Amino acid sequence: MDQSWRDKISQAFIDITNDAEGAKIIKDIYTHVGYVAGDDKNFEPVRKYAEAVGQEIK
């Protein structure tokens, strides 16, 4: 999936929780209370751990 689609999907999840009805649906289904933009570097500890235990991440 190209980056423009990833960005659109991410923004859609953020936007849906800015609407009261959308936020209620997300909370009822997933028990999530909102979304924010993430940063790939936040997952670096997970990658390091996976490497340390011999887990391949694709």
Q: 5-56, pLDDT tens digit by residue?
A: 999 999 999 999 999 999 999 999 999 999 999 899 999 999 999 999 999 9
Beta strands in the chain (DSSP E): none
Q: Is 22 helix (H, G, I), strand (E, B) or coil?
A: helix
Looking at residue 17, the DSSP 8-state letter turns out to be T
Residues ≥6 apart with Cβ < 8 Å to 13: 26, 35
State both tokens at 1. Answer: 């999936």
Reply yes or no on whether the pLDDT at 57 is more than 90: no
